[in-house]
Structure 1
Amino acid sequence: MDSIISLLLPLCLMVVMAGLGLELTIRDFLRVKDNPKVIIVALFCQLVILVAAAFALCVMLKLPPILAVGMMMLAASPGGATANLFSYLFKGDVALNITLTAVNAIISAVTFPLIVNFAIDYFINDGQALGLQFGKVLQVFAIILLPVIAGMLIRHYHQALASRLERFVRVFAIVFLLLIIVGAVVAERANIISYIEQVGLATALFCMMSLSVGYFVPRWFGVANRQAKACAFEIGIHNSTLAMTIALTIMNSAMMAIPAVIYSAFMYIFGVVFGLLLNKFAPSDHTHAA
């Protein structure tokens, strides 16, 4: 049964990542040249500031090593289709979101293993081969990048089919997220309350920091309000499904998936509240030049 689950979970995640690719085109990558400053600032926030913030939370709150690695795995996870939905609902620049998603899909295939290996080396460092060795790195690369490329190819050559598949994959992604959360909770049911007590504050703070950094740092660099909103949701709404699946399968650790499980609840609540606050209080673009 375990071998079947370890096969099915990555396959299901690959379907979700392919669905992300169904929403992307080459034009989304080419738009990088139209907004180079915004892209660079957003990537700096996601890959430097938030990774450092997650590391600081793990150290200051003295998380148990496995949970600390799970937190870093969450921080290493890019945004995705859910971020695009939040941006649409709260009047962000959805085209920019899609561009950031496209760039993140490529970069995270490289940065995710690097960040996770650093976390394992720092927090566990017991001489065991627990990290993402070359074979596991290739698995992560295949799970993240190849399905996205496949989805893009389907959209390029069969746009009508891609449109039909998009609807199916969106529903599938929600069901899969719920199932994987239930699976992780059941696997660690004896300790789940303890884990929530240990990592709940860290995930809540990380979620709030992700959204805040994603919005206010770009604004500090003179990015327009709609684009800053797009950055906030791309950076603040992490792909927790990716973190959970890799924790459960490639890392074979339900405990390592717990930070992403808890974060999944926070990100929807905080994302909605943050979006409503921005719509109510953020200055419009004509009062803040880009």
Structure 2
Amino acid sequence: MIYHLRCGGLAALRPWEGIMDILVNVVLPLSLAIIMFSLGIGLTMADFRRVAERGWVFAVGALCQLVLLPVVAYLVILTFGLTGALATGVMLIALCPGGVTSNVVTRLAKGDVALSVSLTALISLVSIFTVPVMIGWAVVHFMGEDAPDISVTTLALAMFLLTMLPVILGMVLRHFATPLADRIEPVLIKLASALFVLIILAAIASNWTLLTENVAKLGPALLSLNVVTMLAGLLIAGALGLTWAERKTISIEVGIQNGSLGITLAPLIVGVSGGIPTIGLPSALYGVIMYVTAIPFVLWLRSRKS
């Protein structure tokens, strides 16, 4: 009887495992590529020229993204006593650049959309180098003897193929077929958003037991990371004399991260081919939290003139 129950249980699990394998190995990378392709479609070389012309503003946003966010994440990890793979996962989402979502939220908040898109694109380029190096440090620091072996070169190559190559292809399409790019951009953004929601749900479902055991600590930690970084970005940009639109943009860019990238990189980091590992759980949960906090935050930003 026990044998049959076990066999039935295993048989029942196999379709779910197969679905998860497809999500991790096919749908997840495809979703990220579509997200980054839709970002590239909205970019032109003029956007990068504007960055050069507004170097100081861009530098403030870049430093908040590349320095402030990981520092706050590290302090949050210490404050909430996170350890092991969960601590590494929190650092991973902090190291990821902003995604297309940050551009959409910036538009809703009446921020500087051109600055938002340029920051997202260029930080995505820089992250090809920063994420592999920093996550290599994080897994050793937080996971100790359980740390997986990471090839910085392999991870950097994967990030290039998953992020910058689709952006470049999107820009090429925009340059040579602008009318087509204008028609498909809204469709791609909606498709990418739908796929992102699917991936988040799959990541949470596959780690449900772990999530329920740690949500009391992980949830407040990620909420703190999200709220503190958005407010800190707003205050720092204000202290440095940036315009209200620029301050809103930098705040959103620091607080809205590319959760799909974190979930996609998680299996590559730990070297698994099936399922979404524990390291990817904070990215999935952050993907939910940042939407929950973004709505009231955007309403508050829109209600203020400066």
TM-score surpassing 0.5?
A: yes
Q: Displacement, 1:250?
A: 5.0
Q: What is the CA deviation profile of residues 215-242 of structure 1, one whole-angstrom value per residue up to 9, with x for unaligned ones?
A: 1111110101111111111111111111
- The one-letter code matched in structure 1 to 2:283 is A
- Pick from 181, 184, 191 the counterpart of residue 172 of structure 1: 191
The amino acid across from 1:76 in the alignment is: L
* Kept after mapping to 2: 8 A contact 1:29/1:102: no
Tell me what 1:191 maps to.
Answer: 210
Could you tell me how far apart the structure 2 residues matched to 1:141 and 1:80 are? 15
Q: How does 1:1-290 map to 2 (within 5 A)?
A: 1=18, 4-8=22-26, 9-126=28-145, 128-251=147-270, 252=272, 253-281=276-304, 283=306
Partner Cα separation in structure 1 for residue 103 and residue 148 of structure 2 = 37
Deviation at residue 100 of structure 1 after TM alignment: 1.2
CA distance in structure 1 between the aligned counterparts of 2:21 and 2:156, rounded to whole angstroms: 20
Q: Distance in 2 between matches of 1:36 and 1:155?
A: 25
| 1:159-197 residue CA offsets vs partner (Å, 9 max, x unmatched) | 122122212211211111111112112211222211312
Cα distance in 2, alignment partners of residues 127 and 230 from structure 1:
39
Pair 1:136–1:96, CA change in 2 (3 A): closer
Does the 8 Å contact 1:54/1:75 carry over to 2?
Answer: yes
| CA radius of gyration, larger in | 2
Taking every aligned residue pair, what percent have the same amino acid on both sides? Answer: 31
The SS at the match of 1:126 is: helix
> How far has the Cα of 1:133 moved from its partner?
3.6
Q: Answer whether contact 1:25 1:156 (CA < 8 A) is retained.
A: yes
Contact 1:10/1:249, CA 8 A, preserved across alignment:
no
Q: Which 4+ residue blocks in structure 1 deviate beyond 6 angstroms? A: none
Gaps of 5+ in 1: 284-290
TM-score by length of 1: 0.91
More helix by percentage: 2
Q: Alignment RMSD, CA only?
A: 1.8
